Structure 1
Amino acid sequence: MKICVCVKHVPDSAARITIKGKNQFDESITFILNPYDEHAVEEAVRVKKQVGDSEVIAVSVGKEDAIKTLRSALSMGADRAILIKTNVRPDSVITSRALKAAIEQDGKPDIIFTGKASIDNEGFQTMYRLAAALNMSVASNVIAFSLEQERVLVECEMEAGARGVIDMPLPCVIGTSKGLNKPSYPTLPAIMKAKKKEVKIIDLESLAIEKPMSSIEILELKPAVEERSSKELKGQPEEVVMQLIRVLREEAKVL
């Protein structure tokens, strides 16, 4: 079985980002493997062990420093990696087209795992665009996955705490969520071994894909403003409960 994992090189959420000008930021900060993609890699490796005679290929679109993220995927158990190198950070349209071209060039897989979103922009689009381009079934927010012969059964998180079960054929694209598994920490021998695994670099310009104008224009970046407030509720327990419900519904608007 051939399994691909699409991963993204993203800024560490713990890093302090310095904004440069109106719509740029200092990229010398720490970048990491997108946390949702960690679950994708973990599940791909688990399926590989379950099936046997399988290969896991990590694929990423990004600048050359994204090799670091691919090495992380390799240390978790991926067999080899492909970097589609570009000097810009493309939107989901170009990303999905680049992934499609590189994946087809390498040989169409049986399953493509990827995180349900990236923590830097949370566009929630790439997996759907990729699945449509490859004519594959797709499921996102996946928190349970099982493989039976030529079909997969997945459980997905839905709105308001509901869960849905989807039965679909291979090949397919799976968008992983945090409840799916617990990513393992690579051992030192695995990290050292990952340094020797193949990372193939493909220039984005060498792929025969249509490159439309970016559908997203960043006009301005601003640091997030942390707003905190408190409210003291007084009265009997029953009264406090009713006050709390009113505050949550009318003021906080979370109910």
Structure 2
Amino acid sequence: MKIAVLLKQTPDTETKIKIKSDASGVDETDIKWIINTYDEYAVEEALRLKEAVGTGEVVIVTAGIKRAVESMRQALAMGADRGILIDTEGLTLDSYTAAVILAKVLPNEKFDIVLAGKQAVDDDCVQVAHGVATLLDWPCVWPIEHIELSGDKKSVMVVRPVSGGTKEVFEVGLPTILCCDKGEHDPRYASLPGIMKAKTKPIQELKAADLLAGETPKVKWVNFSLPPDRQAGKILKGEPEQVCAELVKLLREEAKVI
């Protein structure tokens, strides 16, 4: 069983984001970088699938600049076997071009299952895994919270949450791409031996520019801005009839929602 995990390095969700003075992007000076939250769940599910089979390989695949190696090493410390870094230094990628380069790499490795987080917590685009699946003509299920390999290892049963607590169950043939939500299993902590072993596990480096074959982004970032500061709330006091009348007036004249 050969499993890939698409991993993205994202800013820590506790990081205070600052915009560059020319509004061309995010000021990365003081950002702490982590594994995308949902990708950690994908790593955990990949390791559990490998353990259930008893043999196989878990490969971390990242499209990013060289600092992403730090996050890849964290996944290797959790138990993944090796990594592939597609170096995007000097390139501006959108979801489409990211999908293009990943779709060039994954078939060469003949993966049975490709796992990804259901979304990246930095841009929330929810597009790359779906784009890869479309380019490769592979089935894709989003999001999933449970994976179970069939007895003949030719398909997986996955559970997908939908609205109102309802769940859908799919049987999906391999190869497939599955996008993981926070599910039954929390990501494991890396052990000290795992951290030490991760330092010597191989990470192959490829150049994204060599894989794009003339493809260009479909989306152009025009500028970046932070949302306006939230205004202070108002506390209404008085008799209930007075408060209700004042509230209706504010909703109509200031908020303009009624």
Instruction: State the TM bucket, normalised to the shorter chain.
Output: 0.7 to 0.9
What are the Cα deviations for residues 2-58 of structure 1, in whole angstroms up to 9, with x where unaligned?
100000011111112221111222223111110000000000000000002200000
What does residue 2 of structure 2 align with? 2
Q: Which has the larger radius of gyration?
A: 2
User: Is structure 2 residue 175 aligned with structure 1 residue 171?
Assistant: yes
What does residue 60 of structure 1 align with? 62
Q: Is the 8 A contact 1:143 1:177 kept in 2?
A: yes
Q: Aligned equivalents of 1:89 and 1:158: distance in 2?
A: 34
Using a 3 Å threshold, how does the CA distance of structure 1 residues 230 and 147 change in structure 2: closer, same or farther? farther
Identity of aligned residues (%): 32
Q: Is the 8 A contact 1:12 1:30 kept in 2?
A: yes
Q: TM-score, normalized by length of structure 1? A: 0.86
How far 1:164 moved relative to its partner?
Answer: 1.5
What are the Cα deviations for residues 121-165 of structure 1, in whole angstroms up to 9, with x where unaligned?
111111111112222111011011111131211111223443221
User: Is structure 2 residue 31 aligned with structure 1 residue 27?
Assistant: no
User: Is structure 2 residue 134 aligned with structure 1 residue 132?
Assistant: yes
Report the aligned-residue RMSD: 2.4
Q: Is the 8 A contact 1:62 1:89 kept in 2?
A: no
Matching of residues 222-241 of structure 1 within 5 Å: 222-227=225-230, 229=233
What does residue 44 of structure 1 align with? 46
What are the Cα deviations for residues 61-108 of structure 1, in whole angstroms up to 9, with x where unaligned?
011111111111111111000000012351111111111112223x22
Q: Aligned equivalents of 1:82 and 1:113: distance in 2?
A: 14
Q: Is the 8 A contact 1:39 1:180 kept in 2?
A: no
Matching of residues 90-129 of structure 1 within 5 Å: 90-105=93-108, 107-129=109-131
User: Is structure 2 residue 87 aligned with structure 1 residue 85?
Assistant: yes
What does residue 198 of structure 1 align with? 202
Q: Is the 8 A contact 1:147 1:153 kept in 2?
A: yes
Q: Is the 8 A contact 1:111 1:173 kept in 2?
A: yes
How far 1:176 moved relative to its partner?
Answer: 0.2
Q: Across the two proteins, how many residue pairs are aligned to each other? A: 240
What does residue 12 of structure 1 align with? 12
2:95 maps to amino acid: S
Q: Aligned equivalents of 1:226 and 1:74: distance in 2?
A: 40
How far 1:232 moved relative to its partner?
Answer: 6.3
How far 1:221 moved relative to its partner?
Answer: 1.6
Q: Is the 8 A contact 2:146 2:160 kept in 1?
A: yes
1:168 maps to amino acid: V
Q: Aligned equivalents of 2:35 and 2:202: distance in 1?
A: 18
Q: Aligned equivalents of 1:56 and 1:176: distance in 2?
A: 16
Q: Is the 8 A contact 1:57 1:80 kept in 2?
A: yes
Q: TM-score, normalized by length of structure 2? A: 0.85
Q: Aligned equivalents of 1:181 and 1:231: distance in 2?
A: 43
How far 1:173 moved relative to its partner?
Answer: 0.6
Q: Which runs of 5+ in 2 are unaligned?
A: none
How far 1:181 moved relative to its partner?
Answer: 2.0
